[in-house]
Chains A and B, each alone.
Chain A
Amino acid sequence: MDLEKSLNISAAGLRAQGTRLRVISENIANANSTAQTPGGEPYRRKLVTFDNELDRSLGVETVRVDSIVADRSAFQRRYEPGHPAADEEGYVLTPNVNSLMEMADLREAQRSYEANLKVIESSRTMLQRTIDILR
């Protein structure tokens, strides 16, 4: 039935947004993770991409996390000569995580999550209404 399918689709949406939230929290948690040795790379920011997928058993297009890729933008540099990962000039590479951007992304993910929840709620009410006809 279509209403049950829409519950399934929304659940897939929730799952995808949940994964996105997880990746964002990884980024924020690692915002200060630098390398241990001079030549090493610090933490690289991760990005989530979504894709829509045909669920063959339901015959509907749901959403899934396509891949989690690394952000290839440049690392930031900070002057800190005493750091174990500092180069000859005293600079340390720091992760390319911008916490402001992560927060904005977090809010966006939250908003999408809420929208999916709303749809579930609405589909549930409609199902309930259908059952109420029997009363």
Chain B
Amino acid sequence: MDGKPGLFNLLGKRMEWLGQRQKVLAQNIANADTPDYVPHDLKPQEFRRMVERQAAATLQPAATRPGHIQTSSLRADARSVEQKERYETAPSGNAVVMEEQLIKVAQTQSDYNAITNLYKKQVAMMKLALRGRM
């Protein structure tokens, strides 16, 4: 859509971000008993940045050989960082609080539902415009 952030484009980005967050949360929960593990989270996605970073093309490393590490999670706009404020840390050094992580999972899921519903609505409206009737 000639460089401007279309609605579908933004929705797609949001879905990608939520998917990545789900991945990070899954990682936290899987490591809920690993000593010295500190939970990660993504930086919140800002609408302003979603709109303004359209023009600048970012370079991305590509995995071209079997030995290369996949780098989809290393992209600049959605890198997972160690959580700053921690609820509590177990004697083993593990700082994952299951309840907190599960709440985040639930949030991510409901956000995702909202986005997919919006997407569907938009498609329905386009169809309506094309057909001219319900």
Interface residues of A (CB under 8 A from B): 1-3, 5-7, 9-10, 12-13, 16-17, 20, 49-52, 54, 56-63, 108, 111-112, 115-116, 118-119, 122-123, 125-126, 129-130, 132-133
Q: What residues on A are CB-neighbors of B19 within 8 Å? A: 1-3, 6, 126
- Can you name the residue of chain A whose Cβ is closest to the Cβ of B63? A59
Query: Inside 8 A of A132's CB, which chain B residues have their CB?
Result: 116, 120
Count of A-B residue pairs with CB < 8 Å: 117
Known: A50-B35, A118-B105. A133 touches B20 (CB 8 A): no
Interface of A is mostly: helix
Is the Cβ of A3 less than 8 Å from the Cβ of B116? no
**Given A2-B20, A130-B116, A112-B72 contact (CB < 8 Å):** no
A26 to B69, CA, bound (A): 38
Chain B contact residues: over half helix, strand or loop, or mixed? helix
Q: What chain B residues lie within 8 Å of A16 (beta carbons)?
A: 30, 33
Q: Is the CB of B98 within 8 A of A50?
A: no
Of the candidates B32, B67, B73, B102, the one having the most CB atoms from chain A within 10 angstroms of its own CB is: B32
For B33, give the chain A residue with the smallest CB separation: A50
Q: Whole-angstrom distance between the alpha carbons of A2 and B71 in the complex?
A: 12
Given A9-B23, A59-B73: A133 touches B120 (CB 8 Å cut-off): yes
Partner of B72, one of A6, A59, A123, A129: A59
Q: A49-B35, A133-B119 are in contact. Are A56 and B23 (CB under 8 A)?
A: no
CB<8 Å pairs between A and B, sample of 28: A2-B73, A3-B19, A9-B30, A10-B26, A10-B30, A13-B32, A20-B33, A50-B31, A51-B34, A56-B69, A58-B70, A59-B70, A59-B73, A60-B73, A62-B27, A112-B29, A112-B32, A112-B33, A115-B32, A115-B101, A116-B29, A126-B18, A126-B19, A126-B22, A126-B108, A126-B109, A129-B116, A132-B120
